[in-house]
Amino acid sequence: MSKTETKKKSGSGFGSKLGFVLAAAGSAVGLGNIWRFPYLAAKYGGGIFLLIYLILAVTFGFSLMITETALGRRTGKSVIGAYTDVHPKFKLLGWLAAIIPVIITPYYCVIGGWVLKYLTTFAAGNGAEAAGDGAFFTSFIGQTVSPTVFFLIFLALTILVVMLGVEKGIEAISKILMPVLIVLTIGIAVFTLTLDGAAEGVKYYLLPNFQNFTLIDFLKTIAAAMGQLFYSMSLAMGIMVTYGSYMRKEDNLEQSVRQIELFDCGIAILAGLIIVPAVFVFSGGDQSALQAGPSLMFITLPNVFHSMKGGQIVGTAFFILVGLAALTSSISLSETVVSILMEKFRLKRIPAALITAGICLLLGMLSVLGYSAWDNVTIMGKQFLDFFDFISNNIMMPIVALVTCLLIGWVKGTRFVREEVMESANKFKSYVLMHIMLRYVCPVCMVIILLTPFVTDI
């Protein structure tokens, strides 16, 4: 395949622009939007976090996303091949980016399995069991067999779609699941917003609260919003390079990236509108209930559903929504690994997918066992799952993003991205913005992200 030929021409890419946008939006919209975004927004001053996140998404997130997608489409390669094509000296960067989905996919599927457990519990009418002080959750993840079974089911679903290929698997499933996901999100949001007392929660969530908000809080909020941006927009881990390599040359790149961004922000904000007011009503306006952090979804929310009329149905619908969002994201993470195996080892799709499943199984079991049989084993004081999350999100992704900015902004030149965008448009409206972002703003932001875990308790 020539350097500028996309995989689409060889018959293994997305069949339409809509297919690309929905698949990439499916990748972006995941646990990050529904589970992580609302609790971060609640922790970092509600509306202030929201505002900062939106500004960063349309500037910083956009610039990185269009760069990665253009890199993929222009080279038509997986993440290792793409970086090597741009500059042979940056081959290592490609490898570093390639390791990230290998680390994330397994534990993401383990959490996907937890979601399936809650979904089946609510669907079977046993939501009451999941309510309480968190004993249900800790006893579930403390077992070995049950979390393994749910993890395997989730992994099998993911790999099955990937085996079917880009157009017949990923694109086809995204075209069905993404509209369902949007309808479910809007439906549940309308329901929770009409609960008595929900308005107070909406105010807390949407209006910036500057009370006791110091400069340090402001910096912490920016760092948290930037971290969330990577996580949520699936940046700096080769996914957008891979999906870009499957994109058709004639489809408008800038418009597509703007649409993906809209999806990602829209679903994150709506997820907050479901969760924050619901928790507010349940706790009688007690803000501390929102500070539950990661356990918000698995401990606080089941209580909320249990206490509301029709909670069994809303709970089921909610966990279907989370499950679908997680599935389309794990598909993109696995596809990135599969594309590397296919290209580097000249494998066919099915063996590459099976090897990916094998790697996920091995690493995923570490995360499962880390909460049960091996709960006394820690790395850098963290359990396996937390450790995988920490090194990928806090260390490796910012490094990949930083070096990518330096490569495109300073070594190769942003013209590289512009030329690719202009393949399918007369104008690149946000070119100057992207240029400034890649050369100056993003590298500084990356250094801040890299340093934050060492200077604060973020």
Binding residue count for ligand PFF, defined by CB under 6 A: 14
Both structure tokens of 419: 């030329």
12 in Cβ contact with 165 (< 8 Å) = yes
- For the four alpha carbons of 52, 57, 59 and 60, in that order, the dihedral sign comes to positive
| Type of residue found at 145 | V
Ranges within 128-167 binding ligand PFF (CB under 6 A): none
Nearest to 288 by CA among 385, 208, 204: 204
We find the least distance from the C-beta atom of residue 263 to ligand PFF, in angstroms, to be 11
Which of 75, 84, 234, 452 is in the footprint of ligand PFF by CB under 6 A?
Answer: 234
Nearer to ligand PFF, 131 or 331 (CB): 331
- Residue 32 binds ligand PFF, judged by CB under 6 A: yes
Alpha-carbon dihedral angle through residues 169, 181, 61, 416, given to the nearest 10 degrees:
30
Which of 329, 334, 383, 430 is in the footprint of ligand PFF by CB under 6 A?
Answer: 329
- Residue 174 binds ligand PFF, judged by CB under 6 A: no
Which residue has 């079977």 as its token pair? 124
Q: Spell out the alpha helix ranges (H) of 61-171.
A: 62-75, 79-86, 91-123, 127-130, 135-141, 145-163
Nearer to ligand PFF, 198 or 340 (CB): 340
DSSP 8-state symbol, 171? I
Site string for ligand PFF, 213-232 (x = CB under 6 A): ------------------xx
Nearer to ligand PFF, 105 or 303 (CB): 105
State the chain's maximal CA–CA distance in angstroms. Answer: 62
Which range touches ligand PFF (CB under 6 A), out of 28-36, 135-143, 191-199, 340-348?
28-36
We find the least distance from the C-beta atom of residue 241 to ligand PFF, in angstroms, to be 14
Which of 24, 31, 116, 225 is in the footprint of ligand PFF by CB under 6 A?
Answer: 31
Both structure tokens of 75: 């080279």
Which residue has 């080892």 as its token pair? 345
Which range touches ligand PFF (CB under 6 A), out of 26-34, 283-291, 344-352, 354-362?
26-34
* HSE value, Cβ hemisphere, 13 Å, CA-based, for 254: 18
Distances (CA, A) of 169 to 282, 289, 299, 323: 40, 40, 34, 18
Alpha-carbon 269 to chain mean position: 14
Both structure tokens of 116: 């399936």
Both structure tokens of 352: 């590459």
Site string for ligand PFF, 393-432 (x = CB under 6 A): x---------------------------------------
* HSE value, Cβ hemisphere, 13 Å, CA-based, for 415: 3
Which of 13, 30, 106, 364 is in the footprint of ligand PFF by CB under 6 A?
Answer: 30
- Residue 23 binds ligand PFF, judged by CB under 6 A: no
We find the least distance from the C-beta atom of residue 364 to ligand PFF, in angstroms, to be 15
Which range touches ligand PFF (CB under 6 A), out of 24-32, 145-153, 380-388, 444-452?
24-32
- Residue 336 binds ligand PFF, judged by CB under 6 A: no
Instruction: At 27, give phi and psi (nearest 5°).
Output: -70, -45
- Residue 104 binds ligand PFF, judged by CB under 6 A: yes
We find the least distance from the C-beta atom of residue 99 to ligand PFF, in angstroms, to be 12
Q: Which residues are at the interface with ligand PFF (CB under 6 A)?
A: 28, 30-33, 104, 231-232, 234, 237, 329, 333, 392-393
